Amino acid sequence: MKVHIYAMAAVLMLAAATSALAQSQALRATIPFDFYVSGKLLPAGTYVITPTSHGEAIQVSDRNGNSAVVIAAGYTRNHSASLSRLVFRQYGSASFLTTVYWTGFQNGKLVATSKMEKELAKIEVSPMPITIAAR
């Protein structure tokens, strides 16, 4: 019985490590609108999205020196695991990065909600979701 428990624990640890390794890969996306990450406004452009070494935060940066780091607050189910993508919430003209998904993985990383987005959410009843493909 103990052998089965240890074997199951080893399989679960290996699966978690494999998922974390793949989700540590950088994604590239062209974002056609200005957007906020962790309260910082970034201009439209091509960005590289890179999780930190421990996967607790995500860095978003472009070639022009625009950059922001945000806490990856949790996980959400990836219902379209065949596509790497970024999801934004848009309140009027203000867009906020909310989730990052990697191809082939069951979960995406949730981005911590900024104070500014929380304030807008009190005013706007239902933000519009926007999905941008990443590679």
pLDDT of residue 24: 58
Query: Residues near 68 by Cβ (< 8 Å), separated by ≥ 6?
Result: 37, 38, 40, 42, 59, 60, 61
Contact 92, 132 (CB under 8 A): no
Six-digit token pair at 117?
Answer: 């987005």
Six-digit token pair at 96?
Answer: 């906020």
User: What number of CA atoms fall less than 13 Å from residue 74's CA on the CB side?
Assistant: 4
pLDDT of residue 125: 75
Contact 75, 135 (CB under 8 A): no
pLDDT of residue 15: 44
Neighbours of 36 (CB within 10 A): 20
Of 111, 129, 130, 113, nearest in space to 29 by CA: 130
pLDDT tens across the length of the chain (135 residues): 544 444 444 444 444 444 444 455 899 999 999 999 999 999 999 999 999 877 789 999 999 999 999 999 789 899 888 899 999 999 999 999 999 999 998 899 999 999 999 999 998 778 999 999 999
The C-alpha atoms of residue 16 and residue 107 are separated, in whole angstroms, by: 11
User: What number of CA atoms fall less than 13 Å from residue 2's CA on the CB side?
Assistant: 0
pLDDT of residue 55: 76
